[in-house]
Structures are given as structure tokens and as C-alpha cells.
Chain A
């Protein structure tokens, strides 16, 4: 199955190349799937696009990360928000409370990576739990204390800037949590669950989609819906979810935000359109019952979304390095950058290389990287520019971008 998918991708790439470079037509069968202008799909005049569950989880995640700066909160309150149960009074928003969705039960929970790896899934969930607990037990009691090597507290950024709240090793738990969730929830669910054939083609999904058999009580086929659910993790909070790129980056604090940030770097301009176009064409391919085109588009999304995470990991490591090399080190800014970098490195284990169907960095490899970053006695207080360069080189080497391209946004 995996080999077959790769062959399809290579076949399509080769065809494009041949069309570009040869002067005569070699009669390669051209697949006629046309993407609509925007992500709008209908059956009998009714929209078949639905991803409300994703929009809900993004909203819950926003509320959870907001708690990291609320010193009045308790571990029990945040844990309950993270692991929401239907009708529990966890959120200010009544519709979130009524929802049966939860962030925690979809954290490290994809079919491809975790359906037969409950051990890793439990360890990853425990990491998120530990960041909540750490913020409340270690950081909150030192909220008004200036952080020093080995001691939690606050640090203010230069120029009368923001205050950053770090643990004894200089790590901001809220950044660790937020940026790691981009991998463990949004990326893992989109790439390794909904865009995988294990989910798209499950049971009689293909036959039903071929025959236009819709899901019980719905206007969409199950396969259409699975694809939309992947889409929802990127665009579910957008002002205009059908045409999200005009405001890309503004929709949430998670994957959407960082697609926007990478798009803003001229080295990568166009990546937002590549991801969106692949989603649109893949969805049109499902309507056209053309699963070859669908899987080729899934491969593009997997590659590009993985790149977003790799690029931002290197970006923050390089920003931290630049800060450490300044004449006057602004530790609040440096630790903030490196804490974001920590989360993006953590998220690398949820990427997927479409050529191998494996993450660009395994969980074990991510642990090695994070240990290089945090492993010294006082963690980030001790990390050197050389180590940050080594980490950046290691990460960039697995992708098709350079450290220089990712390291700045111009």
C-alpha cells in the first residue's frame, strides 16, 4: 500500500516534468479533476462540508492555553478543560460545555501513529498534563519573583516589553504546551488520521463514495467528511473557512497561525496556497471518485504542513541563538523563542514524510533533540549558540529548506 502510494506520487511528478520539458505529446492519460475556486462542495444544493468538531476543539484549546496566565486557576480546573466531558461546566462558552468533544482524547490519537501504540500516546498525554501541573505548582508561586538560573519566575523583555514566566530551567510551560499541541492535536489528527488511507478508505467508504451513499442522516459521504475534518484543523476557526487564505494566520494560536507566519517569509511565500489548493483538489477528487489524485494531494498537504513545523522549529532556535549572541542578552526574549522552539521540536514527531509515511523525526529522535536543548543543569540558561546551530542543522537536513531560509523571515 505504502509503496503503491509513492509510485503514484512519483508517476504524477514525472508526468508534470515530461509535459514541461518535452515537445511532443506522449499521451500520458491526464486525470480530469478540477478544483473549485473555493472550498465549497454541495450535493443537491446543500453544502457537504462539515468540520464543526475541529472548530470546537480549536476553541477549547484556546481557552486552555489562556489558563496558563490565570494565577487564580487550579490544576483541577485546567485538567478538566483539557479532558472535557460532555455537559461539564468547564468553559465560559456554553456551547463548548455542551459539546462531547475533548482536546485531550484527540492528543496523540491518530490512526496511523497511535492506534497500536497506546504506550507512546499515554506518555505524550502525560507530557501535556505535566506542563499544566508545572505551570501551577512551579511557576504560579513565583509569579512576582524574578527568575534566575535554577529558579522559576518572571523575566521582562527588553524595551519595557512582555513579561515571560519560566520554570527553573528557563522553559515557558505555556509555549511548550501550545506549540506541542500544534503537533499532537492539529497535525497528528489532520496528517496521520484523516488524510491517511486507513481512515479515508475504512470499511466501505470507497464503495459508498463511489455510489454516492451518504453517511447516516448526513448530506456528505463518510470519505468526504473525513477529508473535511483534516481541513478543519487548519482552517476551522477562519473568518471565511471556504476561502481562508486572505486572513491566514489570524484564525487561531495554532497551525493556522504558523502557516501564516511561514507564508510571510519570502523564502516560503506560496506555501499557504499550496496547502489550500491541495486540500481543494483532493476534496474535488473525492467527489470525482479519483483516489489517485486524492492521495497525491494528501501527500502534498503532509509534506507542506510538516515543513511548517520544521521551519518554525529552526526559526525559533535561530532567533534564540541570535539573542544569545547579542551584546546585551535579553533572556526573556531568548527563552520565549526557545520555548516556542521546544514545542515545535516536540511537534516534529507528529509530522509525516509522504515518501515513507513516517514522521521526519521519531519520538525517540525528538527526545534526543529536546535533551540537547534542555539537558544541561540549568536547561536553557546553559544552552550555547553552537548547540542551537547543531539542532537547527539536524532538523533542516531532513527537510528541503536551509537553516538560512528558515532562520529569518526575510
Chain B
């Protein structure tokens, strides 16, 4: 909308300067079936991904309960596996900060990292904290669980020791349980809303205004790609924004060897979203890719959708050379991390500039002020 206002002001300016007497500005509505794309995204991608994540959260809750009841190394290992499974599934839903997820600020309550371990410890010892407070987002979620089950001590024996400690053990168990219960409750809230009512709202809002579903989900996709994949998982640890590497900023820092796996899971999910690939199979449906192909969008003599997929693939291939532990990677050979960042950045231009221009969507987010 603003773009058009701006454009018409521009045209008006030209008009005055040129003293011309004709005006042939026209609309640019395309005939792509946006509703069919939204339907595919909702029914075959978002909802099944959430349902899968939700069942992994339930398993995590069970594993937590088992560990709290019978606190031993075997149950710690099981809990850690359940945590990692859910953390991986999370990568397939984290970009959909729309509807209920947006309303409750789902992503920020689920996966902020790095976490503030001093505050986590003080929450545990004081027993006085409000996890629904925005100030407590870096004391909960997958990152806080990472600290509790991987980082709270230096070996499995000692971690179990923390949770069985005669004085403080019960407080650790309570905090762990509260975190998992909250994550599970928030997830249920989001999933239930999708299946009970938001699915139809989402699909039916198929227009082309700034608040239409296409505009919003595409912005969510790009925002996530730029801030959470490119910057959060790679750029920030590589020191792109700070000048020197920050090894403690990686995802899954306390576990240590999972940051690459989580990165890949997220990269795949983003590319699958672009291609409209069903969550449970390799079947594809209407998507941003088919939208671009429908419009026959060409850049430098090549289909834009092909360029975007190629660039996703280049980023994946480049990242394949990275250490499983991105902390280790930035310590030993940060230039490989920077290479990966650069390849990810190239797609920002293709999707944020070229693609948005083709499908007439405006960017609705801005870089934080930074002060």
C-alpha cells in the first residue's frame, strides 16, 4: 500500500516536472491462485509439522517425568534423546510466527539462546520467577533445557548428582519440570488454534494486502531465514556483527555437537517451504516456487526459483564442511563459517528483493535500531 502511495507521489512528481498531460499508471494483480498455495502450506506443511512437533514435546514431557521420578544416568540419556528429537522437530515449525504463535510470542519463549545461566541458577535457588514474563525468555526453552541436562555439570554422573543433591536437587527437578510443562502447554495452545480455527482464517485471507496471509507468511519466512538461520545460527557465532567470533552463541552450546544438525534441519525446512514440499512426503504442491514459475520470473536469463534453490543447495554444501559443533568451528577455522554465512546471505538478496518484487509483497519488518 505504502509502496503505491510512494509510487503515485513519484509519478505525480514526474508529471509536474515533465508538464505532461497523460497518466497511464496501472495495477499489477496477477492470476496466481494464492488460496491454493495457502491451502498447501497449511494442510500439508504447517499443520503436520506442528502435530509432529507436538507429539515430540509430549515424549519430552514423559522423558522429563521419568527422569524426575527415577533420577539416574540411563534416564538422563533418554531425556537428552527426547530433548534432541523435539529440538530437531522444532526447526520445522520455528519460522511460522503467525496466528497464535505470534500472539503468545512462541519462538521467544521456546528457543532463545544463549541463555542467562546466572539467572537460571538464581531462579532455581530462589524458587521465585514468572516464566510468562518477557524478561525471563533467556531463562527457559530449549536453550535452558540444554543447560540443565548438558551444562549444569561436567559429566553425566555429576549432572545426575545435581538433580539428586539433598539440598538443591528438588529445586532443579522442579525447574526442569516447569520449563518442559510450559513449553508443552504453549505448543498445545498453538497447535490447537491451528486445527480448531486458524487454518481457515489463514487460507481464506488470500488477498494481497499487507495483512493478507501470503504477505505475512512470506515475511515470516524471510524474517526467520535472515534473523534466525543466517544470523542466529551462523553469523552471530562467526562474529559477522561483532567483529570477532562468539563461540558461546551457538545453538545447543552445552550439548556441543548438535549445532550443525539443527542448522541443517532448519535449512531443509525453509527450502521445503519454498518448494511447497509436504511435511510427510516428497510430494510438492503450490508454493513460492510455483508462484514464481507461474509468473515466469527470470533473473540473469535463469528462472528465479532455480536460482533460489541452487543457492539453498550451495549453502548446504558449504555447511557440509563445517564441524558438527559450530563452537569448535569458529575456534579452529572461522573462515569456513564466514563462507557459509556469505552463501546464506546471497539468498537474502534473491528472496527478499527479487522474489518479493515478483510477487508484489512488501517487507514488513526492519532491522532493530541497535541502541
User: What mask results when residues 1 to 23 of chain B are scored 1 for a CB within 8 Å of chain A, else 0?
Assistant: 01001100000000001010000
Kindly state whether residue B366 has any CB partner on chain A within 8 Å: yes
Interface string of A326-362 (1 = CB under 8 A from B): 1111111000000010000000000000000000000
Q: Judge if A97 is at the interface, Cβ distance under 8 Å.
A: no
Given contacts A21-B19, A158-B108, A327-B105, contact A410 B362 (CB under 8 A): yes
Q: Is the CB of B19 within 8 A of A408?
A: no
Q: Is the CB of B308 closer than 8 A to any CB of chain A? A: no
Closest A-B pairs by Cβ, 4 of them: A160-B138, A327-B103, A156-B135, A328-B105
Residues of chain A having any CB pair with chain B under 8 Å? 20-21, 146, 154-160, 253, 261, 266-267, 326-332, 340, 402, 404-405, 408-410
Is B265 part of the contact surface with A, judged by Cβ < 8 Å?
no
* Chain B residues at the A interface, C-beta cutoff of 8 Å: 2, 5-6, 17, 19, 102-105, 108, 112-116, 133-138, 362-364, 366-367, 369, 371
Given contacts A21-B19, A267-B6, contact A159 B137 (CB under 8 A): yes
Task: Specify which of A160, A327, A329, A402 is in contact with B116 (CB 8 Å cutoff).
Answer: A160
Would A160 and B104 be within 8 Å (CB), given that A21-B19, A155-B135, A404-B2 are in contact? Answer: no
Q: Who on chain B is nearest to A331 by CB?
A: B134
| Best-buried of B114, B134, B371 by chain A (most CB within 10 Å) | B134
**A158 B362 Cβ-Cβ under 8 A:** no
Q: Which residue of A lies closest to B102 (CB)?
A: A327
Given contacts A328-B104, A404-B5, contact A156 B366 (CB under 8 A): no
Question: Residue on B with the closest CB to A410?
Answer: B363
Closest B residue, CB atoms, query A178: B371
CA distance A158 to B371 in the complex (A): 14
CB contacts (< 8 Å) of A154 on chain B: these are 135
Interface centre among B2, B5, B19, B367 (most CB of A within 10 A): B2
Query: Main SS of chain B's interface residues?
Result: loop
| Distance (whole angstroms) from the CB of A348 to the closest CB of chain B | 20
12 further interface pairs, Cβ-Cβ under 8 Å (given A155-B134, A266-B6, A267-B6): A21-B19, A156-B135, A156-B137, A158-B105, A158-B108, A158-B137, A160-B112, A327-B103, A330-B105, A332-B134, A402-B5, A409-B366
Q: Is the CB of B366 within 8 A of A408?
A: yes
24 A-B pairs with CB atoms under 8 Å apart are A20-B17, A20-B19, A21-B17, A146-B133, A155-B134, A156-B134, A156-B138, A158-B108, A158-B134, A158-B137, A159-B137, A160-B115, A160-B116, A267-B2, A327-B105, A330-B134, A331-B134, A332-B134, A402-B5, A404-B2, A404-B5, A405-B6, A410-B362, A410-B363
Q: Are B5 and A146 in contact (CB under 8 A)?
A: no
Nearest Cβ on chain A to B62's Cβ, whole angstroms: 28
State the Cβ distance, B3 to closest chain A Cβ, in Å.
Answer: 9
In the complex, chain A residues whose CB is within 8 Å of the CB of B135: 146, 154-156, 332
Bound form: Cα–Cα A329–B17 in Å? 46
Q: Would you call A410 and B366 a contact (CB within 8 A)?
A: yes
CB nearest neighbor in B for A266 = B6
Q: Could you tell me the distance in whole angstroms from the C-beta of B355 to the nearest C-beta in chain A?
A: 16
Cα(A261)–Cα(B366), bound, Å: 12
Q: What separation, in Å, do the CA atoms of A326 and B105 have in the docked complex?
A: 9
- Residues of A within 8 Å of B364, CB to CB, are 410
Is there an interface contact between B134 and A328, defined as CB atoms closer than 8 Å?
yes
Question: Whole-angstrom distance from the CB of B132 to the nearest CB of chain A?
Answer: 9
User: Which residues of the partner chain A approach B113 to less than 8 Å between Cβ atoms?
Assistant: 160
Bound: A267/B363 CA distance, A: 14
Chain B residues whose C-beta falls within 8 Å of the C-beta of A340 in the assembled complex: 369
Q: How far is the CB of A159 from chain B (nearest CB, A)?
A: 5
CB nearest neighbor in A for B17: A20
Residues of B within 8 A of A327 (CB): 102-105
Closest partner residue, chain A, to B227 (CB atom):
A159
CA distance A397 to B43 in the complex (A): 47
Partner of B112, one of A146, A159, A330, A332: A159
**Which B-chain residue is minimally distant from A319 (CB atoms)?**
B369
In the bound complex, do residue A253 and residue B104 qualify as a contact, i.e. CB atoms below 8 Å apart? no
Chain B residues contacting A146 (CB-CB under 8 Å) are 133, 135
Q: Inside 8 A of A402's CB, which chain B residues have their CB? A: 5
With both beta carbons as reference points, the residue of chain B lying nearest to A328 in the complex is identified as B105
> Using Cβ atoms and an 8 Å threshold, which residues of chain B touch A266?
6
A385–B105 alpha-carbon span in the complex (Å): 20
State the CA gap A176–B2 with chains docked (Å): 31
